Amino acid sequence: MHEPTYRDAFKASWELAWHHKSLWIFGLFAAFWGQLGIMELLAKVVFGASTLHTPSAFVYAVNFFTQYNFVDFARVWHPGLDTWVWTLWLVVIFVGFAVFLAFISTVSQGAIVHSAEKYMEKRKKKFESSSVSWHESRKYFGKLFALNILRKIIEIAFISFAAWGMANALIEPNGSDVALFLFLFVLAALMGMVLSFMLVYSTGYVVIEKKKFVESLHMAWRLFTRHWLVSFEVGFLLMLANLVLVALVLVGLYLLFLPSLVMWLIAFAIQSQGLYIAGMFLGFGLFLVYLAILGSMFTVFVTSTWSYLFAKMHREGVVSRVVHFFKR
């Protein structure tokens, strides 16, 4: 039997992401939950420690609303009944949009996992349509949503530990404060990565093996303990893939703004403010479309890679490349 390798996983995931572009729409919405794996967590831990606060949209929203005294604002504003009605409708619309986005993003994430698993089974046969994966993923919305919420809570907790350690080290620091920060930073990164792997595998157990929520977490832990080195190796390789993604973004930023640069030079020559604004909209428009396509495809690629490796680890087992190297 052919021993599954990381090259097989990356090749199959790239084929799925490139040849089945209907999955890109799933990748676009699934990206709202962030990447599966460790890159996003590590980036947030570093960013949170360096800026002394948790880089979370939830925390930003809380900080924004706690800066203002809305009671005094309401007294000065003296809103009438019609204003309160319109405000209530506005709140309902925003809440409805948030619920809709959470539903679409969660189901899209599960649809990519389901599509990847079916693609790995039938690579030489006709691939099922993405609509089949969408309808299948809807059955597990509650479990997947709970896993993503748990993941965000874990991220906020460990990033807060690192941020607190940095703040403590900056205020009259001594040797023990710096050592405490380094310990908390490494602990937050390692524990966060372990729990991220568990949640990745839990998603696989929910969508592919149709396990219950608590059972999926328990089985994910057992799978991680058997393949902990494989998990870290794949996480490191995907971190390198993220660096390639950043390079592609920078190259796209340069190339896609070249037409705008030409328009700006012409606008400067003829003193046309309208042409300058048009060039700005053109550059940002092309770049945003490029980011959406690139991010969607990369989300499908990363999610498919983890799904492939989950299936192989769960059913056949995957040997660490480091262990394989020393055995040779």
Query: Mind listing the pLDDT tens digit for each residue in 258-286?
Result: 888 888 888 888 888 888 888 888 888 99
In a domain, 217, yes or no: no
pLDDT band at 309 (very low <50, low <70, confident <90, very high): confident
In a domain, 90, yes or no: yes
Rg (alpha carbons) of the chain, rounded to whole number: 23
The confidence score (pLDDT) of residue 235 equals: 82
In a domain, 186, yes or no: no
Supply angle C-alpha 44, 36, 244, rounded to 5. Answer: 75
In a domain, 158, yes or no: no
The confidence score (pLDDT) of residue 34 equals: 72
What gap in Å lies between CA 287 and CA 294, rounded to an integer?
10
The total domain count for the chain is: 1
In a domain, 105, yes or no: yes
Range of the domain at 76: 6-144+226-327
In a domain, 118, yes or no: yes
Residue 32 has pLDDT above 70, yes or no: yes
pLDDT band at 52 (very low <50, low <70, confident <90, very high): very low
CA distances from 229 to 109, 233, 237, 242 (A): 25, 6, 12, 20
Lowest mean pLDDT among 16-20, 86-90, 296-300, 313-317: 313-317
Task: Select the highest-mean-pLDDT range: 33-37, 39-43, 288-292.
Answer: 288-292
Residue 305 has pLDDT above 50, yes or no: yes
Average pLDDT over residues 292-316: 86
